[in-house]
Amino acid sequence: MEKAGVKIGLEIHCQLTNLKTKLFCGCPSDYRGKEPNTTVCPVCLGIPGTLPRPNQKAVEDAVMVAVALSSHISEETVFYRKNYYYPDMSKNFQISQYDGGGGVPVATSGMISVEEDGIKIKVRVRRLQLEEDPAKLVHLGAIDTSPYTLVDYNRAGIALLEIVTEPDLTSPREARLLLQKLRSILEHLGVSDGSLEGAMRCDANISLAGGARTEVKNISSFKEVERALNFEVMRQRSLMARGLKAGQETRHWDETRRTTITLRTKEEEQDYRYFPEPDLTPMRIPGEMIESIRWRMPELPDARKDRFVKQYHLPPMSASVLTSEKALADFFEKCAHLYPNARQICNWITTDLLRCLHGQNLEIGESKITPANLVEMLRMIDEGVISGKIGKKILPEMVKTGSSPREVAHRHGLVRISEHEVLEKVVKSVFDEFPSAVKDALTDEKAVHYLVGQVMKRTEGRADPQLANKLIRERLRSKTPQVS
């Protein structure tokens, strides 16, 4: 995608999934897989008379992210009401924070650095703020044809951290990389598990040279952000090519139809009638809290990447790949504790394991493979029990089932043939079949290789090549006519 003139800003909503309770009540924040409307209480259902009680830990988590993004942290943060009617709102207003006059978010002016093809770009963060997640609407099929809408309030009131970037991104791919980076940071901080469905969602603002800003809503994943924005770039380009202008509007990304559709134009923009939430007092963020968070700050992806390069002598690009996901970096380090050749581990993870995960549409955390299993496989290769090629062959099953490499290799008869007698028989049969090659081999080294190749072929690559070589040479030697 050509970059010139494309400006993208993201509004990212991350659920603070590691909190025990919702943002303003004591309901469990682990709502996934629960019966609809069971992790609810009068507060998150907006029953008359109830009042919000802020979750202190959520504020701490938000401050932690703010520190990680080198943001300016407010001394006092204020919650606002964002008023609008929608069936996913139990109170028909959302407790949020406000970026207009008088509003004070948890933090402002931060920075996220993203690496694209080894080049670092810095994206400014405008603000970080807390708000409550609305309920989930469930439709039968598509939203516009469903005969009904069901509301599941289990999600209502889950703590959301909203991170808004400046329009510093210049391509859809950068947008995806930024989301990935942010996810890795949140996971390293231990505040959010990005692998959970819907844990990270985003809206994107996009404009092309001189054109009006379009907001794209309803983007549910990293892949989707790139797709949706690519579509928008194309759409706006083709408008420009026809001499038309993209109007300022809000569009909806339709994942199944892979297109954006107009949600509302500038004239129809909603007036949210923001005003300070009278049921909550401004929340102080004391300096001591920030200090103690700085102290407890875990290692972040960038630092971890640098350490991987230094400690394990990994190429920087590979270290980037490993640290782009916390679970992956953890997996690597666990392997590195069990096996001395870190580079070898890194190669296997960044190429074969990732390809394999991708093929099965899994994340490392969702797959069953363990570091011990991967390391065992590497050892089997080292010991000649299997070849590297066999390793690649058995990896998918290890990922899928969690079985040990030995088990998989044996189950499929893939363990290397290194028994003398067995291989002797194969060699003999090859000699019998290719007498002319045998003859050539007496003088021509190339023909020896041919014979070895035939042995490998017959054993489907399982023969120990060194042993095969040795046996062939021994047999040739016995055939060498006595020099007269």
Partner 1 sequence: MTEPHELTASEVARLIASGEATAEECVDSVIERIHAVERRVHAYITLDEEGARQKAKQIDQRIKERKPVGRLAGTVVAIKDNMCTQGTRTTCSSHMLESFIPPYDATAVERIKRADGVVIGKTNMDEFAMGTSTETSHFGPTYNPWDLTRVPGGSSGGSAAAVVCGETNLALGSDTGGSVRCPASFCSTVGLKPTYGLVSRYGLIAYANSLEQIGPLTKTVEDCATLLTVIAGHDERDCTTANLDVKDYTNHLKKPISKVRVGVVKELFGEGTHEGVAKTVMRGVDTLGELTSGYEEVSLPSLEYSLPAYYLIAMSEASSNLARYDGLRYGYRTPDESLEWGDTYSKTRMEGFGAEVRRRVILGSFALSAGYYDRYYLKALQVRTLVRRDFERAFSGFDVLVGPTMPLPPFKVGEKIKDPLELYMCDVDTVPVNLAGLPAISVPCGFFEGLPIGMQIIGRPFAEELILGVANAFEKSHRLEARSPPLR
By CB under 8 A, name the one of 38, 70, 146, 149 that touches partner 1.
Answer: 149
Name residue 228's amino acid.
A
Whose Cβ is closer to partner 1: residue 48's or residue 210's?
Answer: 48
Cα separation, 198 vs 13, whole angstroms:
9
Asked whether position 87 contacts partner 1 by CB under 8 A, the answer is yes
Sheet containing strand 119-132, strands side by side: 72-73, 107-116, 119-132, 159-165, 6-15, 200-208, 214-219, 249-254, 259-265
Asked whether position 271 contacts partner 1 by CB under 8 A, the answer is yes
Which residue reads 């998150």 in tokens? 44
| Residue 393: both structure tokens together | 């062959």
Name residue 40's amino acid.
V
Asked whether position 432 contacts partner 1 by CB under 8 A, the answer is no
> Quick check: 328 and 335 in contact, CB under 8 A?
no
Cα separation, 80 vs 9, whole angstroms:
23
Whose Cβ is closer to partner 1: residue 62's or residue 89's?
Answer: 89
Asked whether position 155 contacts partner 1 by CB under 8 A, the answer is no
- H or E stretch covering 470: helix 465-479
> Quick check: 28 and 257 in contact, CB under 8 A?
no
Under rule CB under 8 A, how many of the chain's residues touch partner 1? Answer: 31
> Quick check: 13 and 201 in contact, CB under 8 A?
yes
Asked whether position 90 contacts partner 1 by CB under 8 A, the answer is yes
Asked whether position 42 contacts partner 1 by CB under 8 A, the answer is yes
> Quick check: 97 and 158 in contact, CB under 8 A?
no
Candidate ranges 48-56, 116-124, 241-249, 360-368; the one touching partner 1 (CB under 8 A): 48-56
Q: How far is the CB of 147 from partner 1 (least distance, A)?
A: 13
Asked whether position 340 contacts partner 1 by CB under 8 A, the answer is no
Asked whether position 56 contacts partner 1 by CB under 8 A, the answer is no
Cα separation, 463 vs 384, whole angstroms:
10
Candidate ranges 27-35, 39-47, 121-129, 463-471; the one touching partner 1 (CB under 8 A): 39-47
Asked whether position 367 contacts partner 1 by CB under 8 A, the answer is no
Candidate ranges 62-70, 109-117, 274-282, 317-325; the one touching partner 1 (CB under 8 A): 274-282
| Residue 87: both structure tokens together | 């069936």
Cα separation, 398 vs 377, whole angstroms:
10
Asked whether position 81 contacts partner 1 by CB under 8 A, the answer is yes
**HSE on the CB side for 176, CA within 13 Å?**
14
Task: Give burial (CB, 10 Å; 0-12/13-18/19+) of 476.
Answer: middle
Asked whether position 316 contacts partner 1 by CB under 8 A, the answer is no
By CB under 8 A, name the one of 12, 15, 44, 93 that touches partner 1.
Answer: 93
Q: How far is the CB of 101 from partner 1 (least distance, A)?
A: 8
> Quick check: 250 and 136 in contact, CB under 8 A?
no
Q: How far is the CB of 131 from partner 1 (least distance, A)?
A: 15
> Quick check: 315 and 288 in contact, CB under 8 A?
no
Candidate ranges 204-212, 273-281, 378-386, 441-449; the one touching partner 1 (CB under 8 A): 273-281
Candidate ranges 4-12, 91-99, 212-220, 433-441; the one touching partner 1 (CB under 8 A): 91-99
Whose Cβ is closer to partner 1: residue 151's or residue 437's?
Answer: 151
Asked whether position 49 contacts partner 1 by CB under 8 A, the answer is yes
Candidate ranges 85-93, 219-227, 243-251, 309-317; the one touching partner 1 (CB under 8 A): 85-93
Enumerate binding residues for partner 1 (CB under 8 A). 42, 45-54, 81, 83, 85, 87, 90-93, 101-102, 149, 151, 271, 273-275, 278-281
